[in-house]
């Protein structure tokens, strides 16, 4: 058993269906959001396309944030299956830390985007519906949170790349149960 909140359950179990469903829906959203984010910042300022893509990014980002909070809530109350027997200690530790860091990025990425956009006169619209605007126009705070948003995006993309490589190593090289327990 881990002493940290992201605990592990009984050996041989697989992830529960809600954890699996949320993992894959959120994975698609986050990877899509990374591509959308880097694409949209290259669109010339003042064009309708830029506003359209920015609003899409904010809407899907808020949606991802809500699903991520649900996933974190589920995960903090449900143990994950422990790694298969015989897996090297370093590999188990690396997986555990990579998962923790990914949860941290999953929370911070939408939070910093939302905070940055809140300190902006445009505010945040969720698929056309303006969300309550509790903040004020503040360029310094907007740039500060956007700076974090940009740095976390790079760290997150690197973690995801490592995670996907590790998942395929388990599937193709180690041929253990690690990949299949994240499948329904
Ligand atoms: C899963 C969640 C999210 C991911 C993966 C993500 C990713 C990104 C990326 C990769 C960029 C480009 C960064 C750069 O220029 O270096 C970006 C920019 C941006 N994001 Fe997000 N984002 C997410 C959520 C959000 C949310 C929830 C909001 C606001 C409600 C938001 C607002 C913005 C804005 C306004 C920019 C452009 C800033 C600018 O350069 O003018 N993002 N995002
Ligand atoms: C944005 C993309 C992704 C994020 C943020 C992410 C995050 C995570 C996290 C945090 C876990 C640990 C689950 C837990 O213990 O609660 C996990 C497990 C897993 N992920 Fe991902 N994932 C992403 C994409 C992918 C992709 C594309 C694949 C496969 C190609 C994948 C394969 C797996 C597998 C096989 C597990 C189970 C590993 C284990 O049991 O230790 N993930 N993922």
Q: Which ligand is nearest to the CA of 112?
A: 1
Instruction: Please indicate, yes or no, if residue 120 is contained in any of the structural domains.
Output: yes
Domain assignment present for 133: yes
Classify 130 as helix, strand or coil. strand
pLDDT tens column, 127-139: 999 999 899 999 9
Considering the domain boundaries, does residue 9 fall inside one?
no
Taking 60 as the threshold, does the pLDDT of residue 2 lie above it?
no
CATH classification at residue 90: 1.20.950
Report whether residue 177 contacts ligand 2, using a CB cutoff of 6 Å. Answer: no
Domain count for the chain: 1
- 107 in a domain, yes or no? yes
Q: What is the CA radius of gyration of the chain?
A: 19
Residue 76 has pLDDT above 80, yes or no: yes
* Residue closest by Cα to atom 18 of ligand 1: 37
Q: Predicted confidence band at 12 (pLDDT cuts at 50, 70, 90)?
A: low
Q: What would the two tokens of residue 63 be? A: 């949606």
Give the binding-site residues of ligand 1, using a 6 Å CB cut-off: 30, 33-34, 37-38, 41, 54, 57-58, 61-62, 64-65, 109-110, 113-114, 117, 124, 146, 149-150, 153
What is the domain extent for residue 44? 17-182
In a domain, 97, yes or no: yes
Segment 113-121 mean pLDDT: 96
If you measure from the C-alpha of residue 163 to the centroid of ligand 2, how many angstroms do you get, rounded to a whole number? 7
Q: Return d(Cα 16, Cα 14) in angstroms, integer.
A: 6
pLDDT band at 61 (very low <50, low <70, confident <90, very high): very high
């Amino acid at each position: 058993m881990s002493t940290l909140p992201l605990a592990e359950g009984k050996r041989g179990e697989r992830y529960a269906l809600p954890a699996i469903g949320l993992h894959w829906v959120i994975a698609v959203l986050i990877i899509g959001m990374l591509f959308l984010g880097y694409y949209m910042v290259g669109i010339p300022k003042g064009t309708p396309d830029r506003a359209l893509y920015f609003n899409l990014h904010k809407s899907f980002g808020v949606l991802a944030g809500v699903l991520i909070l649900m996933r974190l809530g589920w995960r903090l109350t449900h143990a994950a299956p422990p790694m298969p027997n015989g897996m090297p200690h370093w590999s188990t530790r690396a997986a555990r830390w990579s998962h923790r860091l990914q949860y941290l990025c999953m929370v911070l990425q939408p939070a910093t985007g939302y905070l940055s956009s809140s300190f902006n006169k445009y505010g945040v619209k969720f698929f056309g519906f303006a969300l309550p605007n509790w903040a004020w126009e503040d360029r310094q705070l907007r740039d500060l949170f956007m700076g974090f948003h940009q740095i976390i995006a790079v760290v997150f993309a690197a973690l995801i790349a490592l995670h996907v490589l590790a998942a395929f190593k388990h599937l193709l090289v180690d041929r253990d149960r690690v990949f299949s327990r994240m499948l329904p």
